[in-house]
Structure formats: structure tokens, C-alpha cells
A and B are shown apart, each in its own frame.
Chain A
């Protein structure tokens, strides 16, 4: 019988892996950005699992503080990635990372 903390941690690891797979496998930038968000959620889930201190004890507040900070960072990252993707679509016509063309330096 595995405890719920371990289950959460394994779930986090699975999310992290799925996000990483999406990031590597899909050429579309929006999917890559979503993949990065899923990866982040996986990392946060592992942190939350680390807060578990038994069924009758209050959870450790430190990982919660870390996750809140992490979510703020993740929102900024998503914003930056989306604005870059929008510019790439505006300049190249597609939200994909195509091989570089020859242009003047």
C-alpha cells in the first residue's frame, strides 16, 4: 500500500514527463508552451507532496510558499513565451520553429 504522498509525487513525475514529451515532440509553439506548463505543474505537484507530514499533522508550509512563488514565475514565463510566439507568427507567418533561412546578419 503506497501512501498518498508517494502517489502525488509519482503523479508529479508523470506530469513532468508528459510535459517534456509534448515540448520535444510537437512542432507547434502553442503546444510546446502548454507542454512547459504541464512540466511546471509536475514540479509543483512533487513539491506539494514533499509537504506531507502524516495524516494527523499539519502540512509543512515551506513547500506551499515555494509553489506560490513558482506559479508566479511560471505565469511570467508563459507570458514571455506567448508574446514571442505571437511575434514569430507575425514575422514568419506560422507559429513553428522552422529551420533558419539565409538572411543578412
Chain B
């Protein structure tokens, strides 16, 4: 069977190697790699909508020793999301790093950025397409390494320390996950997710694996109260890196957690473990939002907003594990992933533009920027609209679906949290927007702004439009998710 499935991992790896060995050509190589990867994602979408889920055995080596790639609806949606946001980040990166020669400090950072970003993209695609729990471990580590290295690009004390904390959390999370894999293999003798799916029962081995894997992945997804590492790492990184980390990297570990509870750990749906995850999600929404309201720096505010928004992803896990075949529940969670990814990427890129212009991101300095940077401020405003979940936006559709699930099953507490979280988000978004639209206190600050390359403004704005546009695409997302829903076991 011929398929372009392996290429979507191979192409970004080649681009990464190319960008690294040809420092003078690192941007053109990365641009070609990005465009090719986007093209491949579209080709895969066409292939999967025509023929259903795709399963590819690399090199003809079958499981257990071979590596299987599986593209179902869920994986496809994530690959497409990464492609859309990835392209915007590549364009933004061009403006951000400019044409500095590789010998200069900025040029050195640019070469590493392009190479590591392409590695990160390859790791994300490999993660979404992995068909067995051990390869998920390997891709999880690849993702973590490139994310940590990207965080450490700027050679400043706080950035390096944030990257080190990130690495420590990331590695301990992965090792917990790996130990969980050992218990799964010891208990059931297979690693393939589709095979595990039909074998798992409520046994002590599954319970230990569930506890280890869930705790490790929750740590890597910065689920409250294990979120302490996220705000410094996401807020101190370079603007395009902040956007990548908040929009895509945390979704990688969440994706594994989601798949595990849907397909492997579901016999434990009735136990207290998913309930605890859900409660911690509620804690994240409340605590993250309150912290975001308290922040005095824009990028830290956006980072704490990520802590809060990640909470929403976890609150429906108990219902998902119980009703595995309900595309509507999964649809609510995935729409939220898409909406948050695009809105958060747009918010961090806008903040990057503001930081570039002002050389500062203290909230008290933001007065009156609407006049100076109308496109960037509009982008931030649209992203904020989606974070608050006002119609029409991707965030609104996602929360609408989630509320529908919560109300129809009589989870009134959850309903209050979902609505209340939106109100808290409105408070921190308005704190920023109020400043941006204010009459400037010191007009001379506005005239001393540094110019922001147009491509940076347009890529932030494009992502903000995506965050709003998703509000009209809910039906299509649900339709994509139905491709090969758990019917890929025997394919080949």
C-alpha cells in the first residue's frame, strides 16, 4: 500500500538537518520544509477522507518489533492543526530573526531556531501518528528535547533556569510514562494500542500503569498543581517559541493522555482516577485564571491563561472514558484544543510584536498601543474573544459543546466552572485590552516605538482569524473525527 504517511515525519527531519548543516540557507530550507509538510498534511486529509483510516507498517516490519503509523480522524485533526499553526510560526520566525548572518549572536539563534523547530514539527507529527505506546514514549522525548532546547535559545540566566526546570519536569514525566509502559507490557504482553484496546481489563497492572502514565503526562501537560514550570518557560522564551510551546507542545502530551483513556485505560473509567484528573482540571481553571489576573507582565499573563485553559481539556476525561464512542464528547474536547492552540499562538505572537516595539511587556506600559499597532492589537483582541469564548469564535463552539455534555448529564458543578472560567478569562483579557485602547499617557513613548516587520503582524492576525474561523468549522471537525473511529485494528 502506498501512502505519503511516513513522509510527513521524514520531510521535517530532512529540513531540520538541512537547516543545521547549511546555516546560510537555514530559513529557505525551513520554509521549503514547512510548505512541503503542509502540503503533505493536506494530501493525508484527502487520502483519509477518501479511504478512511490509514495504517502503515514501516519497512514492512510488523509489530511488536516494527513501527506502525496510524492515521485516524483524531490524528489527522492534530496533524492539520500543527500544519496551520506551524506555517504561521515559520513566517513569523522570518520576521523575528531577520537576515542576521550566522556569525552574529542573533544569526546563531536563528540557525538553531530553524533546525530545532523543524525537529519539533517532526516529533509532533510522529507523536500524533504513533500506533504503539513505546513509540509514543520515544516521540514524547523527541518533543521534549526540542522544546527545551528551543526554550534555551536566549542565553540569559532566567531563560536557562526555566529551560532546566522544564527539562527536569519533562524527563521525570517521560520516565513515569515509560515505567507505565513496562507495566502495560508486563500485564498484557503487547504494545500496540489497537491490540491493547481489546485486551485491557481492570487488573492491578493496568491500575499501576494508569497511575504512572497519567501522572507523568499530566506533569508534562502542566496540569494544576504540577504547572509551576510552565509560566517561566513559556513567558521567557522567544516569541515564536512561546507560541509553539503553549499552542502545540503541551497538546502533544495531552493527546497521548486522551488516547490512553479512550483506548487503553478505559476499563478504569469507573474508578476515582479520572475523577481526580477532572477535579484537578477544575483547580487549574480557577487557580490559573486568578494568577493570570494578578500578573503585571503580558507574557506571564498569557502563560497563566494557558495553565487555566489546559484545565478545560481535563474536565471531561471521566465522561470520555465512559462514553468512548461518543464523537460529540470527543468533539468538544478537540474543538477546545484547536481553539486554544490558535488563539494562544495568536496571543503570544501579538505579545511578541508588542515586546519588539516597546522592548518591554509590562502591562503599565501598554497604554494606547491600539493607535501604533492596530493589526497586532486587533489580533490580540480576536484571540482574547476566543479565550473568553464569546460568539462567534472557536472557543465559543468548544465551550458550547462541552456545556451541552455537562448539562445533558446533569453535571451542574462542571457547568458552573465552564461558565465561570469564561468570566475570569474576560477579566484578564479586559485588563490588557483596556490598556491597549486607552488614551496614551506618554505620547512620546508611542513615537519612539521600534518598527515591527509586517510579516510578524500578519501571521499573528492570520492565527487570530483562524481562532475566530473555527467557530464556523465545528461540524467539519466532528466529521473528520469520525474517520476510522476505533476501526483501524486489523488494517494493513
Seen from chain A, the residues whose Cβ lies within 8 Å of a Cβ on chain B are 9, 12, 16, 20, 23, 29, 32, 36, 39-40, 42-43, 46-47, 49-50, 61-63, 65-66, 69-70, 73, 76-77, 80-81, 84-85, 87-88, 91-92, 97-98, 100-101, 103-105
| Interchain CB contact under 8 A, B156 and A97 | no
Q: A36-B168, A62-B185 are in contact. Are A84 and B158 (CB under 8 A)?
A: no
Minimum CB–CB distance from B303 to chain A (whole Å) comes to 12
| Interchain CB contact under 8 A, B141 and A77 | yes
CB-CB nearest in chain B for A63: B185
Complex CA gap A39/B179 in Å reads 10
Complex CA gap A66/B145 in Å reads 19
Q: A20-B172, A32-B168, A63-B185 are in contact. Are A91 and B157 (CB under 8 A)?
A: yes
Complex CA gap A100/B233 in Å reads 12
| Interchain CB contact under 8 A, A97 and B179 | no
| Interchain CB contact under 8 A, B149 and A80 | yes
Q: For residue B183, which residues in chain A have a CB less than 8 angstroms away from its CB?
A: 46
In the complex, which of the residues A12, A46, A50, A85 contacts B164, with contact meaning CB atoms closer than 8 Å? A85
Minimum CB–CB distance from A41 to chain B (whole Å) comes to 10
Q: For residue B323, which residues in chain A have a CB less than 8 angstroms away from its CB?
A: none
Q: A85-B164, A101-B158 are in contact. Are A70 and B297 (CB under 8 A)?
A: no
Q: Which residues of B (398-417) have their CB < 8 Å from a CB of A?
A: none
Determine the main DSSP class of A at the interface with B.
Answer: helix
- Does B8 lie at the interface of the complex (its beta carbon under 8 Å from any beta carbon of A)? no
| Interchain CB contact under 8 A, A46 and B182 | yes
Q: For residue B207, which residues in chain A have a CB less than 8 angstroms away from its CB?
A: none
Q: For residue A69, which residues in chain B have a CB less than 8 angstroms away from its CB?
A: 134, 138
- Does B106 lie at the interface of the complex (its beta carbon under 8 Å from any beta carbon of A)? no
| Interchain CB contact under 8 A, B152 and A73 | no
Complex CA gap A81/B186 in Å reads 30
| Interchain CB contact under 8 A, A105 and B361 | yes
Q: For residue A81, which residues in chain B have a CB less than 8 angstroms away from its CB?
A: 164, 167-168, 171
Q: For residue A87, which residues in chain B have a CB less than 8 angstroms away from its CB?
A: 152, 155, 160
Q: For residue A9, which residues in chain B have a CB less than 8 angstroms away from its CB?
A: 186
CB-CB nearest in chain B for A93: B157
| Interchain CB contact under 8 A, A84 and B160 | yes
Q: For residue B360, which residues in chain A have a CB less than 8 angstroms away from its CB?
A: 104-105
Q: For residue A70, which residues in chain B have a CB less than 8 angstroms away from its CB?
A: 137, 178
CB-CB nearest in chain B for A49: B186
CB-CB nearest in chain B for A92: B157
- Does B163 lie at the interface of the complex (its beta carbon under 8 Å from any beta carbon of A)? yes
In the complex, which of the residues B145, B155, B179, B186 contacts A77, with contact meaning CB atoms closer than 8 Å? B145
Q: For residue A91, which residues in chain B have a CB less than 8 angstroms away from its CB?
A: 155-157, 160
Minimum CB–CB distance from A49 to chain B (whole Å) comes to 8
Q: For residue B168, which residues in chain A have a CB less than 8 angstroms away from its CB?
A: 23, 32, 36, 81
- Does B161 lie at the interface of the complex (its beta carbon under 8 Å from any beta carbon of A)? yes
| Interchain CB contact under 8 A, B165 and A97 | yes
Minimum CB–CB distance from A97 to chain B (whole Å) comes to 6
- Does B483 lie at the interface of the complex (its beta carbon under 8 Å from any beta carbon of A)? no
Determine the main DSSP class of B at the interface with A.
Answer: helix
Q: For residue B138, which residues in chain A have a CB less than 8 angstroms away from its CB?
A: 69, 73
Complex CA gap A46/B179 in Å reads 7
CB-CB nearest in chain A for B178: A43
Most A CB atoms within 10 A — which of B141, B163, B183?
A: B141
- Does B191 lie at the interface of the complex (its beta carbon under 8 Å from any beta carbon of A)? yes
| Interchain CB contact under 8 A, B182 and A103 | no
Q: For residue A104, which residues in chain B have a CB less than 8 angstroms away from its CB?
A: 359-360
Q: Which residues of B (138-189) have their CB < 8 Å from a CB of A?
A: 138, 141, 145, 148-149, 152, 155-158, 160-165, 167-168, 171-172, 175, 178-179, 181-183, 185-186
- Does B355 lie at the interface of the complex (its beta carbon under 8 Å from any beta carbon of A)? yes
Complex CA gap A76/B155 in Å reads 21
Q: A16-B175, A84-B163 are in contact. Are A43 and B158 (CB under 8 A)?
A: no
A-B contacts, 20 of them at CB < 8 A, read A36-B175, A39-B172, A39-B175, A43-B175, A43-B178, A69-B138, A70-B137, A73-B137, A80-B149, A81-B167, A81-B168, A88-B160, A88-B161, A91-B160, A97-B164, A100-B161, A100-B232, A101-B158, A105-B299, A105-B360
- Does B65 lie at the interface of the complex (its beta carbon under 8 Å from any beta carbon of A)? yes
Complex CA gap A84/B148 in Å reads 10
| Interchain CB contact under 8 A, B157 and A105 | no
Complex CA gap A98/B160 in Å reads 11
| Interchain CB contact under 8 A, B157 and A47 | no
| Interchain CB contact under 8 A, B152 and A77 | no
Q: For residue B148, which residues in chain A have a CB less than 8 angstroms away from its CB?
A: 80, 84
- Does B391 lie at the interface of the complex (its beta carbon under 8 Å from any beta carbon of A)? no
Minimum CB–CB distance from A31 to chain B (whole Å) comes to 12
| Interchain CB contact under 8 A, B167 and A80 | yes
